[in-house]
């Protein structure tokens, strides 16, 4: 009897490739991305490991990792990849998938609260209103006391205005958010 070989990871990998436009399958595991990664000491997921885990279809491990939220989007990996893979673009897609699939988000995934708080502020005012964004982020993440000494320092330098700097095109921005939501629901 002949056994049929199956590549369990292919579906997930093709999905990541289609969405990011990056040819993850061409990764040759040279580790150039990982050696230049600034969050190497803190992360649980080096970029070259992430590429291999995509090959192997390890969706749950990837989407539940701290590393995708610790990625600073510095683009070093994308710039240095000898195969031209946009590794940072792949990280974007993994973050989106983690939120969409409500993957077991680790406690270091505070990034998702930051992104939501930031974009909410942009939707309301057309521009980010930092004081409001930070207050909402703190409440969402319950990460209340981190860096509390920074706000008064910034205020003293007039760097944290008390009122939003609203764009007169805020209505157009709301329309873009509405259209983007409709698009995602389709």
The per-residue DSSP string of 139-183 comes to HHHT--STTTTHHHHHHHTT-S-SS----TTHHHHHHHHHHHHHH
Stretch that binds other proteins, among 2-10, 26-34, 50-58, 174-182 (CB under 8 A): 174-182
x-or-dash string of contact with other proteins, 1-20, rule CB under 8 A? ------------------x-
For other proteins, the closer CB: 7 or 26: 26
* Residues whose CB is less than 8 angstroms from the CB of residue 8 and which lie 6 or more positions away in sequence, other chains included: 56, 57
* Cβ closest to other proteins, residue 83 vs residue 160: 160
DSSP 81: -
Distance CA 86, CA 142 (A): 33
79 contacts other proteins (rule: CB under 8 A): yes
Residue pair 54/9 in contact by the 8 Å Cβ criterion: yes
Instruction: Check residue 35 for interaction with other proteins (CB under 8 A).
Output: no
Which of 15, 31, 39, 83 lies at the binding interface for other proteins (CB under 8 A)? 39
CB atoms within 10 A of CB 45: 22
Q: Which of 1, 5, 107, 157 binds other proteins (CB under 8 A)?
A: 157
Check: CB of residue 45 under 8 Å from CB of residue 68: yes
Spatial distance between the Cα atoms of 182 and 177, rounded to a whole number of angstroms? 9
Residues of this chain that interact with other proteins (CB under 8 A) are 19, 21, 38-39, 41-42, 69-70, 72-76, 78-79, 86, 88, 92, 95-96, 99, 108, 110-116, 118-119, 122, 126-128, 130, 134, 137, 141, 143, 146-147, 150, 153-154, 157-161, 165, 167-170, 172-173, 175-177, 179-180, 183-184
């Amino acid at each position: 009897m002949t056994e049929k070989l199956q590549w369990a990871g292919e579906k997930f990998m093709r999905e990541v490739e289609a969405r990011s436009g990056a040819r993850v399958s061409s990764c040759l595991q040279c580790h150039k991305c990982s050696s230049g990664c600034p969050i190497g000491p803190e992360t649980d997921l080096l970029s070259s490991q992430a590429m291999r885990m995509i090959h192997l279809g390890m969706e749950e491990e990837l989407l539940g990792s701290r590393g995708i939220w610790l990625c600073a989007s510095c683009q070093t990996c994308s710039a240095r990849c000898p195969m031209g893979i946009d590794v940072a673009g792949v990280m974007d897609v993994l973050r989106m998938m983690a939120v969409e699939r409500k993957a077991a988000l680790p406690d270091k995934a505070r990034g998702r609260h930051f992104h939501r708080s930031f974009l909410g502020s942009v939707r309301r005012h057309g521009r980010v209103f930092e004081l409001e964004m930070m207050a909402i982020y703190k409440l969402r993440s319950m990460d209340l006391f981190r860096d509390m000494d920074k706000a008064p320092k910034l205020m003293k330098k007039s760097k944290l205005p008390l009122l939003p700097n609203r764009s007169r095109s805020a209505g157009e921005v709301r329309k873009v958010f509405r259209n983007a939501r409709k698009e995602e629901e389709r």
